[in-house]
Structures are given as structure tokens and as C-alpha cells.
Amino acid sequence: MTESNERRVVSVIVVNEASVLSRITDLFSGRGYNITSLTVAPIPDSKYSRLTIVTSGSVRVIEQITKQLHKLIPILRVYEHADLVEKEMALVKFPISDNITDINTLCEAYNGKIVNVGENVIIAMVADEPKRIENFLKIITRYNPKEIVRSGAVALER
């Protein structure tokens, strides 16, 4: 399988039950598939949860991933997204310095703001497309971020 590796977002609707997450992660590790990020949360007023998995692989591998996921008994639906809206959140902790306004302006450009100001640190939040988040994180290195947390992507088909 020498075809090129493509980034793909797969959404999975699963029954909320014990060990369903390990069924999914075991499948990925057992069959040698990649997980770049994975997010889960219950779907309101239902017995289901929604997972968003960012993965990569050749066309054939991605097809196998969706089919193998679908084979798992507690999985209701698997969507392999083609045309989607995708967002990710990041929280960044900065030391307090003269640059607060710069940081704030920058965050605004990435749908974010400063969400917490402490004695020695501030925490900023941004929410944007994963690619733009990458970009943001590159830019802010100059402000010496102390800690960065990314949420992993969530996605909806257009």
C-alpha cells in the first residue's frame, strides 16, 4: 500500500455503554491504523455518543477503517466526511508581561479571547479550523507560552 496518506475525519455514532471506547481504540491499534485526535461526548437526549476521529491513511485504509468500525456491534453509524465544517479549540497559558493586548488581538483573529487572568499568568482560548490552530500556535511561540492544550477536532458535514 504505497498510495499517499491523506488526513481524514471520521465521525462515529455509538451506543453509550461500558468499554465502547476501548473497542474503537483497540481496533485502531490492532489493525495498525493511526489516530491523530479523538473526541467524544454524549449526544443530548439520546443513548448515543458522538466521536470525531482524525486519522490518516491511503484510500484503501480509510475505507477499511470505516468498514471495520461499522462492524463493531455498538456502532450505529460511521461518516467519512468529504465536505465538512471542522473546529478545534486550544487553551494557552502565558506569563503576564507587556504583551497582553497583543495576545488578545491575536486571539480575536482566531475566534478567541483571554478567558482568565491570574497573578502571574493569563489563559487564552481560541477556536478555529485545526489548520489555523496550528498556525496560531506557531505564531504565539514568541510570547513564551507555558502550557498548551488542544481539544482535538469536532466536525459536522455541511
Partner 1 sequence: MQISGSQMVIEALIAEDVTTVFGYPGGAIMNVYDEIYKQNDFKHILTRHEQAAIHAAEGYSRASGKVGVAMITSGPGFTNAVTGLADAYMDSIPLVVISGQVPMSLIGTDAFQEIDAVGISRSCTKHNYLVTDAKDLARILKEAFHIAATGRPGPVHIDIPKDVTAQIAEFDYSLKLSLETYKPHIKGNPRQIKKAIEAIAKAKRPLFYLGGGIINANASDEVRDFVHRTGIPAVETFMARGTLSHDDSLLISMLGMHGSYAANMAMSETDLVIGLGARFDDRVTGKISEFAKNADVIHVDIDPASISKLINADYPIVGDVKNVVNDMLKLSSDIDSAKYKPWRETISNFDNLHPLTYHEDTDRLKPQWVIERVGELLGDDANISTDVGQHQMWTAQFYPFSRPRQFMSSGGLGTMGYGFPAAIGVKAASPEKISINFTGDGSILMNCQELMTAVEQKLPVINIILNNNFLGMVRQWQTLFYDKRHSETDLSVQPDFVKLSEAFGGIGYRVKTKEEFDAALKDAIDKNIVAFIEVIVERMENVMPMVPAGGSLFNMMLLQKKEK
Where do contacts with partner 1 occur on this chain (CB under 8 A)?
Answer: 14-15, 18-19, 22-23, 26, 30, 60, 63-64, 67-68, 70-71, 73-76
Q: Is the CB of residue 92 less than 8 Å from the CB of residue 143?
A: no
Q: Given the complex with partner 1, which of 27 and 114 has the nearer CB atom?
A: 27
Residue 23 or 150 with smaller CB distance to partner 1: 23
Provide the strand spans (E) within the chain: 6-15, 37-42, 48-57, 75-80, 84-95, 113-117, 121-128, 147-157
Closer residue to partner 1 in complex, CB, 32/118: 32
Question: Min. distance of Cβ 70 from partner 1 in angstroms?
Answer: 7
Q: Nearest distance from residue 26's CB to partner 1, in Å?
A: 5
Residue 24 CA to residue 28 CA, distance in Å, equals 7
